[in-house]
Amino acid sequence: MKYVLMFIETEQFEKDLAAMDADERDSAFEKVGRWLAEHQDKITQRGAKLQPAHTATTVRLDTGSEPLVTDGPFVEGKEVISGFLEVELADLDEAIAMVKSWPGCPVVEIRPVEG
Amino acid sequence: MSDAQEALAQAVREHAGRLAAALMSLLGDFSAAEDLVQDAVETALRRWPVEGVPERPDAWLFTVARRRGLDMLRREANYRAKLAQVIWPIMPEPDDRLRLIFTCCHPALPREAQVALTLRVVCGLTTPQIAAAFVVPEGTVAQRITRAKRKIADAGIPYRIPCGEDLPARVNEVLTVIYLLFNEGYLATAGERAHRRDLVDDAEWLAALLHGLMPDAPEVGGLLALIRLHRARTAARFDAAGHLVLLADQDRSLWDHDGIAAAIRLLTRTAQRHLSPGPYQMQAAIVACHAEAPRWQDTDWEQIVVLYDMLLLLAPSAVTRLHRAIAVRHAQGPRAGMAQLDRIGDALYRYALFHATRAEFLRELGRHDKAQEADRRALELTANPAQQALLEERLTWA
């Protein structure tokens, strides 16, 4: 089955990351790099790290009149999607097991892909 | 429940889950297998009371499910072909119900759905029976089950026993569901029990099934012992009028002493095989302390306080601290108990038993006005008629 893993950052996580010195940040990135390498065979080519939330633009089409263009992510909140990966796995338990060892941001949503 | 109803429930429980597991391996489709079982169970509940429980209930249920399946799944040529070929028993394989249990109690399903699915698929309850047991509308239960089955299929929740490192957490998930069923049934009053299915039966049956399938999982043995120790006191828990009788006032000669001894043996065996006991074993040990005391005044409260301390290390909770406070009250007096209560007042402000306990301690300390106030607060918070009656009585006589 195909799943999309959505990586979600929190305000606290951003603060922690900002408070790290260069060495700590390198080591954090290295951990993520290692995790990606370990799971390479399960990761399809689709996926990306997104630019931070302040770069987001949302267009609402259900306003009844003209589409409404606003600054920021679609849900204004403390948790924002910061990246996604598509993975090919046998079942949800494999996805949960894979996500449990994710060394980056503190929340991950697992969604099966339709079809 | 009458004896005939009880026998019927028993027969369904013994066979529905096996049939579900068998159809599941055959069809590989949880939702389709579940629909067929539910249909067979509903047919059985209509016909068995009239015709009597058949000699081979398993074969009977299977025949109905198969016929229904061939009919219903007309368009699904694949399933139909599989069903057409088989005869019962499908294959004499090891008990497959464990996989069924783990799928029903998957952590990706909401708790209410886990409970409803387990009751329906593993215990063979119908949707109306589940709705009545939890006093919720049938539509609500039906919707929970439909959504859960859709999620199992769409999200790829597997039908298998979780692998090694995931297993302890997943077993805990199952135990939580069983414990919840037990509590729901145990706290029902005698009056409610007369026309409501006794979920305590289902909880004990599930715990015993799980223990049989996973004899080496210590907490499973712990929960089974805990349920059996509580059940052994059933006959003394309500008086003739259906009012709840407190532990201190129970006629201990009514307790099932053989049942208590057997549950304690189970607990001891479990403890001997494993070095560090889990929370269910600790709780069972506490109940065993009560069960072993010949009279209320013989209760070993010091020991119980120690056991609560150990339980709190494993599973910190304000409710457990409330029970510890009660033990402290008996070991060291109401003032010491009150000091413990004061520390959990904020956390348990919405918990009836907290205020009821506080009222009791206050009364013992001679502070009757405050005690009545606490009783009133407890009364506002309790939905269980027996508990409410007990509190009302206290208000009247205080």
- Across chain A, what does the average pLDDT equal? 91
Please report the pLDDT score of residue A91 as a whole number. 95
Please report the pLDDT score of residue B94 as a whole number. 62
Chain A residue closest to B159 (CA)?
Answer: A91
- Across chain B, what does the average pLDDT equal? 88
Is residue B40 one of the residues assigned to a domain?
A: yes
Express each pLDDT in B1-18 by its tens digit. Answer: 567 777 788 888 889 999
Residues of chain B with pLDDT > 70: what percent?
Answer: 89
- Cα(B164)–Cα(B131) distance, rounded to whole angstroms? 35
Q: Which CATH architecture has domain A2-112?
A: 2-Layer Sandwich (3.30)
Find the mean pLDDT for residues B9-29. 88
SS3 content of chain B, % helix, strand, coil (to 5): 75, 0, 25
Of A10-19, B2-11, B347-356, where does mean pLDDT reach its minimum?
B2-11
Boundary of a domain, candidates B93, B123, B155: B93
Domain span holding position B33: 1-93
Give me the amino acid identity at A30. E
Tell me how many domains chain B contains: 2
Is residue B397 one of the residues assigned to a domain?
A: yes
A3 with B156: Cβ contact below 8 A: yes
Please count the residues of chain A: 115
- Cα(B359)–Cα(B334) distance, rounded to whole angstroms? 11
The number of CA neighbours under 13 Å toward the Cβ of B85 is: 10
- Cα(B272)–Cα(B222) distance, rounded to whole angstroms? 12
Strands (E), A1-115: 2-10, 43-49, 57-60, 68-71, 79-88, 107-112
Q: Does residue B190 surpass a pLDDT of 60?
A: no
Is residue B196 one of the residues assigned to a domain?
A: no
What SS3 class is residue A50? coil
Is residue B39 one of the residues assigned to a domain?
A: yes
- Cα(A19)–Cα(A32) distance, rounded to whole angstroms? 18
Is residue B332 one of the residues assigned to a domain?
A: yes
Boundary of a domain, candidates B46, B71, B93: B93
Q: What is the CA radius of gyration of chain A?
A: 16
Contact indicator for A1, A87 with CB cutoff of 8 Å: no
Can the peptide bond before residue B92 be classed as cis, meaning omega within 30 degrees of 0? no
CATH code, domain carrying B337: 1.25.40.10
Please report the pLDDT score of residue B152 as a whole number. 95
Q: What is the CA radius of gyration of chain B?
A: 23
- Cα(B359)–Cα(B378) distance, rounded to whole angstroms? 9
How many A-B residue pairs are in contact by the CB < 8 A criterion? 28
Contact indicator for B154, A3 with CB cutoff of 8 Å: no
Boundary of a domain, candidates B49, B69, B93: B93
A92 with B157: Cβ contact below 8 A: yes
Chain A residue closest to B162 (CA)?
Answer: A93
B158 with A90: Cβ contact below 8 A: yes
Please report the pLDDT score of residue B92 as a whole number. 47
Q: Which residues contact A95 (CB under 8 A, 6 or more apart)?
A: A3, A5, A87, A89, A110, B156
Q: Does residue B90 surpass a pLDDT of 90?
A: no
- With an 8 Å Cβ cutoff, is B150 touching chain A? no
Ranges of each domain in chain A:
2-112
